[in-house]
Structure 1
């Protein structure tokens, strides 16, 4: 048995590729930041309300922070899934979608024949930002705005990544 070799099924070779799902991207670093920030904020309550008030504030802040991150991750994941779905429907070749990370951003790398596209951003729901990067050039917009204009965004990015990007370049 050889690992990482394409499998042969009924006379044809199946290439490993995109399974049709976007992997989850719950980020432990963001959750750690939430816990540390909640701890610092709750510690302010110790001199005024005592340890019980500080613990209650800590639990409340951590719970709120986790919910805010989970909602932000879901929003970015929905946008990424919507973009990839629309690109595939238009004929774009998606090889794979993997989770990646850079700093405190939650990201997915979309592997195509023409290169890698990074989609992600800040996964905290009230300030969620979507960032798209391809060949070193990136753009950022509010995640809410991106979700509202997903069809137009997908069309614009498809033209840039799959039509213009795959055209032969002149020397």
Structure 2
């Protein structure tokens, strides 16, 4: 009698989901409203309205660019890990505080990749088994191959190390 082996099929579609965060956009709108309200005594309601529109649109664009950068980095890391032989079963969007995050599900455990999705101050954070590291998203994107290689060695090859008694 032969036991059936569980299927190794992935449920992941191959794309990292978008993560436009309503909380970050809400913060942008509130900040734009507060900043625009400072213009009321000096330029009137018209200038305050124009300032609000400019700040809200600018903040929204800054968030969208930051989200796209973090999503590209996450997609690049997952693709490189798959090419190196890692098993990835799913990638979903998650959130923690004001951070934009994705959870990568593997047999080794969950890996959380994300950070602050505002382009001038974008930070990338990677967390696995309660240990995390953060870096500037621009630096991570510029050296994605080295980052993916070092994270792969830390996360996926740890089980291949010989056991010491």
Please indicate, yes or no, whether the TM-score normalized by the shorter chain is above 0.5. Answer: yes
SS in 2 for 1:21: coil
* Cα-to-partner distance string for 1:55-96 (whole Å, 9 max, x where unaligned): 000000000000000000000000000000000000000000
TM-score computed with the length of structure 2 as normaliser = 0.92
Deviation of 1:15 after TM superposition, in Å, equals: 4.0
Would you identify which runs of 4 or more consecutive aligned residues in structure 1 move more than 2 Å? Answer: 13-16, 165-171
Deviation of 1:14 after TM superposition, in Å, equals: 8.0
CA–CA distance in structure 2, aligned partners of residues 113 and 91 of structure 1: 12
CA–CA distance in structure 1, aligned partners of residues 132 and 9 of structure 2: 30
Cα distance change, pair 18–168 in 1 and its aligned pair in 2 (3 A): farther
Deviation of 1:18 after TM superposition, in Å, equals: 1.2
In the alignment, structure 1 segments of 5+ residues that lack a partner are: 1-12
Give 1:63-82 correspondences, 5 Å limit: 63-82=57-76
What's the counterpart of residue 78 of structure 2? 84
In the alignment, structure 2 segments of 5+ residues that lack a partner are: 1-6
Give 1:119-158 correspondences, 5 Å limit: 119-158=113-152
SS in 1 for 2:86: coil
2:55 corresponds, among 61, 79, 85, to 61
1:101 matched to 2:95? The reply is yes
* Cα-to-partner distance string for 1:24-79 (whole Å, 9 max, x where unaligned): 00000000000000000000000110000000000000000000000000000000
Cα distance change, pair 42–115 in 1 and its aligned pair in 2 (3 A): same
